[in-house]
């Protein structure tokens, strides 16, 4: 008698995904090591190393796992960002910084969409780059990209946005502390400016605490207020995309599941019942997932595709960064 063993679907799925997920994890670990030893953004290292290994995303054992990491692991990492924020952190600074963050995010994204259209791009590209600039850098770019409909150029646009915003965030981390010193801003105004303008959380922390403990604390809280803006922006983006769907086409969900999970984690985290160790573990898992997903996106992209983007997208992102900085200074003086 022959014994026929039936494989379990979950086991089959695990075996299918494991090679690609493991490849992304290895690139993520290498990127983290390089970032810790050389000081450059970990997201940038993950992108560059991922693109160097893009042959893995061709037909082969790694392709399904890379696709899974670049999509599903990415969404889980974005949802876990909610463990960084509490309502109390936002309320502690008062209405002034909250109004400043809301206005700067809304105006920066609006101006970016208009500028993108004037430069010959789709408005959604302006939403992607403007959202990354105004909210939280690479994480916002990935979250917005995940909420937008599929498009042949979406991966390339996302990759360019992540590279651009990571590079500009690093430059801002170096330049903006010198700028606030030159302007003579005090610890609190300097922290508000740094938190309201620098793209990525890590660079905000680096710039803020390079000036003083108080500046770093204020900058971090203001930055997390910007991260909290991710939810309403994704909701509005989802509504806009639904309106653009052709008649008869299947509409995407009003709000992606990872955005709902992000909001729920913010609410739960605000209750104070989440132990600090769990918060720290959630933040670490989120960071690892985002780095691995960036590596996966890099593996899916051909380097030659980025060379063809031209100068206009670069000018768009530089213009968005300068606009946000000028707007933040103007709002800071108006609120003081």
The pLDDT of 242-265, averaged and rounded, is 63
pLDDT number for residue 238: 77
Mapped onto helix, strand or coil, the DSSP state of residue 197 is helix
Residues whose CB is less than 8 angstroms from the CB of residue 152 and which lie 6 or more positions away in sequence, other chains included = none
Whether 310 and 94 have beta carbons less than 8 Å apart is answered as: no
pLDDT of residue 303: 58
pTM of the model: 0.67
The predicted model gives 139-145 an average pLDDT of 80
Please tell me which residue, 174 or 252, carries the higher pLDDT value.
Answer: 174
Domain extent at residue 58: 40-335
Instruction: Determine the pLDDT at residue 321.
Output: 93
Read off the pLDDT of each residue in 166-183 and give the average, rounded to a whole number.
85
Residue among 134, 24, 90 at smallest CA distance from 143: 134
Q: Above 60 in pLDDT, residue 245?
A: no
- Mean pLDDT over 225-247 rounds to 73
For residue 31, tell me if it sits in a domain. Answer: no
Give the pLDDT score at 110: 92
299-336 residue pLDDT tens: 876 555 555 556 788 889 999 999 999 999 998 888 76
Number of domains the chain contains: 1
Whether the pLDDT of residue 256 is over 70: the answer is no
Counting residues of the chain whose pLDDT is more than 70, the rounded percentage is 85
Answer whether residue 95 shows pLDDT above 90: no
Structural domain contains residue 268: yes
Whole-number pLDDT of residue 319: 93
At how many degrees (to 10) do helices 123-131 and 312-335 cross? 50
C-alpha–C-alpha distance, residues 264 and 276, integer Å: 17
The pLDDT score that the predictor gives to residue 112 is: 92
98 assigned to some structural domain: yes
- Give the residue with greater pLDDT, 202 vs 70: 70
> pLDDT value at position 137?
80
Interhelix angle 213-228/95-118, rounded to 10 degrees, is 60
> How many Å apart are CA 14 and CA 64, to the nearest integer?
10
Residue 68: CB atoms within 10 Å = 19
276 Cβ neighbours under 8 A, 6+ residues apart? none
Q: Is residue 100 part of a domain?
A: yes
In-domain check, residue 22 = no
Mean pLDDT of 68-77: 82
CA angle 111, 113, 118 (to 5 degrees): 90
Whether 145 maps to a domain, the answer reads: yes
Query: What pLDDT is recorded for position 161?
Result: 84
Residue listed under structure tokens 């992304």: 24
Q: What is the mean pLDDT of residues 218-247?
A: 74
For residue 30, is it within any domain?
no
**Has residue 32 got a pLDDT over 60?**
yes
Better pLDDT: 26 or 167: 26
Which of 228, 238, 234, 229 has the alpha carbon at shortest distance from 266? 228
The answer to whether position 270 is within a domain reads yes
Is the pLDDT at 255 greater than 80? The verdict is no
In the numeric block, which tokens belong to residue 150?
Answer: 């599929």
Mean pLDDT across the stretch 213-231?
79
State both tokens at 246.
């052709």
The whole-number pLDDT of residue 4 equals 46
């Amino acid at each position: 008698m022959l014994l026929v063993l039936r494989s379990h679907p979950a086991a089959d799925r695990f075996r299918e995904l494991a090679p690609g997920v493991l490849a992304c994890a290895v690139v993520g670990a290498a990127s983290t090591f390089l970032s810790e030893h050389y000081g450059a953004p970990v997201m940038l290292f993950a992108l560059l190393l991922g693109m160097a290994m893009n042959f893995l995303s061709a037909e082969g054992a790694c392709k399904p796992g890379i696709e899974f990491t670049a999509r599903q692991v990415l969404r889980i990492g974005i949802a876990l960002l909610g463990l960084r924020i509490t309502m109390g952190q936002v309320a502690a600074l008062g209405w002034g910084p909250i109004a400043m963050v809301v206005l700067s995010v809304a105006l920066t994204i609006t101006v970016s969409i208009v500028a993108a259209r004037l430069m010959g791009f789709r408005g959604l590209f302006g939403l992607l780059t403007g959202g990354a600039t105004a909210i939280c850098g690479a994480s916002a770019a990935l979250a917005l990209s995940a909420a937008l409909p599929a498009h042949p150029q979406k991966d390339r646009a996302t990759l360019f946005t992540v590279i651009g915003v990571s590079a500009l965030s690093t430059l801002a981390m170096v330049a903006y502390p010198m700028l606030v010193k030159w302007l003579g801003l005090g610890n609190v105004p300097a922290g508000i400016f740094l938190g309201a303008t620098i793209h990525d959380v890590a660079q905000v922390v680096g710039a803020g605490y390079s000036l003083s403990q108080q500046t770093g604390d204020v900058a971090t809280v203001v930055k997390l207020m910007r991260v909290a803006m991710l939810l309403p922006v994704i909701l509005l983006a989802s509504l806009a995309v639904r309106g653009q769907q052709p008649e008869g086409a299947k509409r995407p969900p009003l709000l992606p599941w990872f955005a709902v999970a992000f909001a729920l984690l913010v609410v739960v985290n605000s209750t104070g019942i989440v132990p600090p160790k769990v918060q720290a573990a959630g933040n670490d898992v989120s960071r690892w997932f985002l780095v691995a997903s960036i590596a996966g996106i890099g593996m899916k992209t051909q380097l030659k595709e980025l060379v063809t983007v031209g100068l206009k997208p670069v000018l768009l992102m530089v213009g968005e960064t300068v606009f946000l900085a000028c707007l933040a200074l103007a709002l800071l003086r108006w609120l003081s």
